[in-house]
Structure 1
Amino acid sequence: MTKKHLTTVLLFVSFTFSALSQKNTSNVLFTIDNKPVYADEFLAIYRKNRDIGQQLDPKSPEEYLRMYIDFKLKVKEARAQGLDTSENYRNEFNSYRASLAKPYFVDNTVNEALVQEAYQRMQKDVRAGHIMLELPQNAGPSDTLKVYNEIMKLRQDILAGKISFEEAAQKYSKDTYSARQGGDLGFFTVFNMVYPFESAAYNTPIGQISMPIRTQFGYHLVKKYEERPARGQVEVAHIMISVPQNADSAKVAEAEKKIYEIFERIKSFESFEALARQYSDDKASGRNGGKLPPFGINVMVKEFEDKAFSLNVPSSYTEPFRTQYGFHIVQLIKKYPIPSFEEARKELEVKIQRDGRGNLSREAVLERLKRENNYQEYPKNINAIAKFLKPAYLKNEWNPENYDRKMKKPIFTFAGKTFKQSDLIDFMLLNQAQDAKSETLEREVWKNFHRFVETYIFSYEDSRLEEKYPEFRYLVNEYRDGILLFEIMEKEVWGKAIKDSLGLHEFFKNNQSKYQWKERMRATIVKVTTDAVAKQVERDLKRNISVDTIAARFNKVNPLEISFERGLFEKGTNQLIDNVWGKKGLNKLANKEDDRTVFVIVQEYLPAGPKTFEETRGIVITDYQNHLEKVWLEFLRKKYNVTLNQEVFDSIVKEL
């Protein structure tokens, strides 16, 4: 069976965009072969570029209009040649449009609130415990309700005193690691936990138990034990004598003896760095004098973290202590307090986008779009799909026939459009092979339903961006036309000028009078930093010692002592050269430049005359490109009929 329902969805989106894109014809500024160009588009481009253009090359509105018409003629020709159908063009344009569209699917108010919230949470570390009952992320409503009721019953029993929180964690929590500690997770800070869990830990009063919290792992009860001012970050060095996990008492005693011998040498003012390099079994940090990168809480094992943060004076150090890795001595290098909000903002914004809470902004946009477009869903009809599916679907082996006749009931409505059960089945079959499957058909249906709804709603909104947001339309059109302009200019002007060797040389020959040298001087400019050396340089130059030899000798001591420049200089292109024009031989300038003594050695003068092609190749290519563009534009003006709406343009000029 074909995916005709999905095709209908896509056609609906496309049709909606096409209908919304119709404009008021009274706003037409000009037409090119009856295709309209609107005044608001011209105004947007004019206002965007006016200030820059006025500074560099002032243009009247009439002149700018002529340039804009020429621009549109070039784009018209690019389309006529099919340049907008190439795969490279489509990929580049679609990529750029997608990047432009991203901000329209973000709720900046939500983002700013998340940044502010994260910074406030940075000020405190929280100690909490939890009880977790597992539930798959895409569980269906019945499974979700079952686990929710179980954890609510557990919460009620704890509050009623039938069982303590810690006992319940040990007995029921599926997080086996924390369960052994009665659910205690120790201290943590912002971004250490998934966002819903973090919020429960920070928002629940000390000593109390939260309501059930849903994360991708299941449902949680969170008990908050205490808060403290945030530790921030610390930078330390350490020396470690390792102890294998299964070491006997003799090996432990040997390691302990060695660490205390090192400790006594540190107390005798031997270099901590040198001892770390010599003795530490942590070879990675040992090569760097024991230094570790700055770290915050929950990066190192608890014993190491507590000892590191207990130090307050730089260069102070701990007594030897043991962790699961061996014995350590830690020396404080620097403590880093919590940064200011402005200092932390960029890092917080990046972390929020990487963290699960970054989706809250997108979810807020999704909910807004649902409200704006009268979204409604039908859970009973969605659950019926799970009963219709066969277990073979979970193995990527289901291939039903004629389901569109049986599955006709609505699953959701949006913006006046109703989607049926068969539409969701189409979507699921389309993704059947690539998708990781849930444990049950019900979970699989609801997972795909939410993805289908989000995909459609965001696609629908994406198709309307140009109509809803003029500034977006202007940017998209500008970039679309910009790509085409580059492609057509490369084909008709820039590339042609470079590849057309015969035409280029013929153009140079016909315009030789434009490429002429003025009178030139062949000379060497020498600049000397110190006065004492300048006297020696002058003496050596008078003795005809080469500039290279002189510079090599003095620059051994100071590489910046002498600099020099050789070349052919046209009159009027270099002030130092102009100061000695007409003279010959060695000339010492009366005034210094940038506090350096200047000598100009004049070798010869060359009379005015024609430049060779190679001497002016770059300029000739540019001029030839301008010539080709001028001829090409004359051709385009004849090929296409441009009709200006003078009345509209006159009204625009009054606004400018």
Structure 2
Amino acid sequence: MNLKQLFFGVLLSASFTSFAQNNNKEVLFTIDDKPYYTDEFARVYNKNIDLVKDESQKDLNQYLDLFVGYKLKINKANKLGLQNGQAYQAELKSYRNQLSKNYLTDSKVTNELIEEAYQRSLKEIKAAHILFMVDENASPEDTLKAYKKAVEVREKAQKGENFGELAVKYSEDPSAKENKGELGYFSVFRMVYPFESAAYKTAKGQVSKIVRTRFGYHLIKVEDIRDNRGELTVAHIMILKPNNQNPEEAEKAKNTIQEIYKKLQQGENFESLAKQFSQDKSTASKGGLLNRFGSGQLSSEEFEDAAFTLKNPNDYSAPVESNFGWHIIKLIEKHPVKTSQEMHAELDNKIRKDERSRLITNSLTEKLKKKYSVKRNDKLFAAITKTVNDKFYTNEWKLPENMKPFEGNLVTIDNKAISGEEFLKYLAAQQRAENTIKPISKLVDKKYQEYVDVKVNELYNNNLENEFPDFAAVMEEYRDGLLLFDLMEKEIWEKAKTDSIGLQNFYEARKNNYRWGNRLDALVLSSTKKDMAKQAQKLLKQGKSAEFIKEKFNLNGKVEIMSNAGIFEENSDALPKGIEKKDGVSEIIKEGEYYFVVKINKHLPAGPKTLEEAKGKVVNDYQQYLEEKWVGDLKQEFKVDIHQPSFEKVKKQIKS
């Protein structure tokens, strides 16, 4: 997740239906005489209050100060003209288009698609395909050529020719030469909708009918259909593969995972070994625990297949190799497929982002055409139709030289008039699309119906702010938030990262805020056997290395001693609790099932971190410092007038 995604994730976290509308708004404050109202303040406070971790910011007086600061920044952004930037305008338009999709829906069609998606989610299909590429807007000749090739290859497949070999020979999917068109297992939403539908409608062992997607024509062979495997929660111990492809280091990594596996077979604790040795830093401290996942959700099929073969909780796999390293996987819990009710919201969200959303849009269009009055000037439409000839099919038709006769109103949609000239220009642009309907009069009539559909939806879409107050509120917040992001990046964030002198001075003045705790340069040896730990302790005192000790005791494929060396914070999980913090070799320490002996080579005392060591925290603190100073400057630049009676009234409303 990038910074902008995080920024707006916090800003716009509430659901669209949660905005309370308050018509009894009063002016809460003004900035250079521009009013801001109590209803917006109450709405934003109530929406964000559960997200605020700093208790001081839940105080209404403190929150008002933050809110005023927020609006001051927006005023500054507008004063600088950031709202006129092309990138800003484009992103705002893109967001509005995305947000409007939540209102361009038909609940009946949506629920039917949700049920279809749920039923498909219960199965996973293994398939291969052959692709005959053709652009969505390709000429009829090119489209027909691709289709005929698909027909020819399908006949070969139907006669029993090997589908994989046909894929290698004919498929225009670049990967087919290597994988013979194999796609592996997939379920709902993993493929474009027409492809998915064709796959689910084809019987196991059969080749589908020819299916068209935006990529071209496909033939799909369904090789297997199995029940959805559900989801798993697992833990893993991971040893990374070396980045430098060094054979010795690669062999060392493999040997390490095998040693850990043998320790598990000897009855040692999985979570403890994960904490000590797993190189997946994000999960090691949690005993290797991963977030739950289903088929196809991880980037390693080898890992997934090994995980799903585990049958019972606490079962663990033999070492599994992936592109990232070596893993030992332990099953924590199997999660069965969710019920339709449990998946309803998730499926609804996916459908809105999927190609099948067009079905919902088409259904809504029909309703809008009943909602709005649509009147056509039939005489003008007939005149337009006469101007279009068969050159339209070859993209050679030209607009009439004299457009004056077509300037009148062709169609009126809810009192919005559209001229014949506008429709003619739309027609001219449509020559690039696939046009096969004949005669030309029927094609023009179809294009007119499509044009009216577009204009009906445009009218509805452009009026969303008036029809839905919640939509208007979200757009206002995003508009301000986008400006604020651009302003903060320009005035604060970039400066904090690039102002090396300012950052150095800030660090020097606050050096004691950035400190290391006490650390140990140490070697930790562990064993489940006390006598082994004692012998290791004796050898450590003689100055023997960890490698020497492991070679001496880890014999005949049995791992008795494990080692871990490095610089550790004194409270690190990798160190046994209660260790005496003095140089040299420690006493034997028992913790859980393990006996530890630690050789402390050197103490690294608490002290200030260098700027480079603390840079992330210093930059963050410097940003906050710059922002606080900047907001103070803005309060001097703009005139702020708080209407105290209105504030007291809205405080009572919020508290009640």
TM-score range, shorter chain: 0.5 to 0.7
Segments of 5+ residues of structure 2 without an aligned counterpart are: 1-21, 123-159, 163-178, 185-198, 209-222, 225-336
- Mapping 1:100-499, distance limit 5 Å: 100-116=99-115, 296-297=202-203, 300=206, 342=340, 359-377=358-376, 379=378, 381-389=380-388, 395-405=395-405, 408=408, 410-432=409-431, 436=435, 438-499=437-498
SS of alignment partner, residue 614 of structure 1:
coil
On the 8 A contact 2:519/2:567 being kept in 1, the answer is no
On the 8 A contact 2:389/2:397 being kept in 1, the answer is no
On the 8 A contact 2:435/2:443 being kept in 1, the answer is no
Match of 2:611 among 610, 613, 617: 613
**Structure 2 counterpart of 1:640:** 638
Segments of 5+ residues of structure 1 without an aligned counterpart are: 1-22, 124-239, 243-282, 303-307, 310-338
SS of alignment partner, residue 103 of structure 1:
coil
SS of alignment partner, residue 615 of structure 1:
coil
**Structure 1 counterpart of 2:235:** none
On the 8 A contact 2:517/2:605 being kept in 1, the answer is yes
In the alignment, residue 382 of structure 1 is paired with which amino acid?
Answer: F
> How many Å apart are 1:437 and its aligned residue?
6.5
Q: 1:73, 1:461 → 2: CA distance?
A: 34
Q: 1:40, 1:547 → 2: CA distance?
A: 68
Q: 1:393, 1:241 → 2: CA distance?
A: 42
On the 8 A contact 1:390/1:398 being kept in 2, the answer is no
Please list the CA deviations of residues 322-362 of structure 1 after superposition, one character each: whole Å capped at 9, or x if unmatched. Answer: xxxxxxxxxxxxxxxxx998399899989999999864422
Count of aligned positions: 439
Match of 1:599 among 594, 597, 600: 597
SS of alignment partner, residue 365 of structure 1:
helix
On the 8 A contact 1:115/1:345 being kept in 2, the answer is no
Q: 1:107, 1:559 → 2: CA distance?
A: 64
Structure 1's 37 and 372: CA in aligned 2 closer, same or farther, altered over 3 A?
Answer: farther
SS of alignment partner, residue 370 of structure 2:
helix
SS of alignment partner, residue 567 of structure 1:
strand
On the 8 A contact 1:569/1:577 being kept in 2, the answer is no
**Structure 1 counterpart of 2:60:** 61
Structure 1's 451 and 560: CA in aligned 2 closer, same or farther, altered over 3 A?
Answer: farther
Please list the CA deviations of residues 120-166 of structure 1 after superposition, one character each: whole Å capped at 9, or x if unmatched. Answer: 9999xxxxxxxxxxxxxxxxxxxxxxxxxxxxxxxxxxxxxxxxxxx
RMSD: 4.8
SS of alignment partner, residue 600 of structure 1:
strand
**Structure 1 counterpart of 2:549:** 550
On the 8 A contact 1:73/1:637 being kept in 2, the answer is yes
**Structure 2 counterpart of 1:624:** 622
**Structure 2 counterpart of 1:587:** 586
Structure 1's 548 and 32: CA in aligned 2 closer, same or farther, altered over 3 A?
Answer: farther
SS of alignment partner, residue 534 of structure 1:
helix
> How many Å apart are 1:107 and its aligned residue?
0.8
**Structure 2 counterpart of 1:540:** 539
Structure 1's 285 and 473: CA in aligned 2 closer, same or farther, altered over 3 A?
Answer: closer
On the 8 A contact 2:525/2:533 being kept in 1, the answer is no
In the alignment, residue 484 of structure 1 is paired with which amino acid?
Answer: L
On the 8 A contact 2:56/2:62 being kept in 1, the answer is no
SS of alignment partner, residue 614 of structure 2:
helix
Provide the TM-score with structure 2 as the length reference. Answer: 0.56
Larger radius of gyration: 1
> How many Å apart are 1:414 and its aligned residue?
1.9
Structure 1's 623 and 403: CA in aligned 2 closer, same or farther, altered over 3 A?
Answer: closer
Deviating more after overlay: 573-582 vs 114-123: 114-123
Structure 1's 495 and 388: CA in aligned 2 closer, same or farther, altered over 3 A?
Answer: closer
Please list the CA deviations of residues 595-650 of structure 1 after superposition, one character each: whole Å capped at 9, or x if unmatched. Answer: 33333333344555444333333332222222222222221221122333434433
On the 8 A contact 1:44/1:474 being kept in 2, the answer is no
> How many Å apart are 1:563 and its aligned residue?
4.3
**Structure 2 counterpart of 1:262:** none
Q: 2:558, 2:201 → 1: CA distance?
A: 44
**Structure 2 counterpart of 1:33:** 32
Structure 1's 590 and 527: CA in aligned 2 closer, same or farther, altered over 3 A?
Answer: closer
> How many Å apart are 1:35 and its aligned residue?
3.5
Please list the CA deviations of residues 151-188 of structure 1 after superposition, one character each: whole Å capped at 9, or x if unmatched. Answer: xxxxxxxxxxxxxxxxxxxxxxxxxxxxxxxxxxxxxx
> How many Å apart are 1:104 and its aligned residue?
1.4
- Mapping 1:500-579, distance limit 5 Å: 500-516=499-515, 521-531=520-530, 533-550=532-549, 557=557, 562-567=562-567, 569=569, 579=578
Structure 1's 582 and 628: CA in aligned 2 closer, same or farther, altered over 3 A?
Answer: same
In the alignment, residue 463 of structure 2 is paired with which amino acid?
Answer: R
On the 8 A contact 2:526/2:563 being kept in 1, the answer is yes
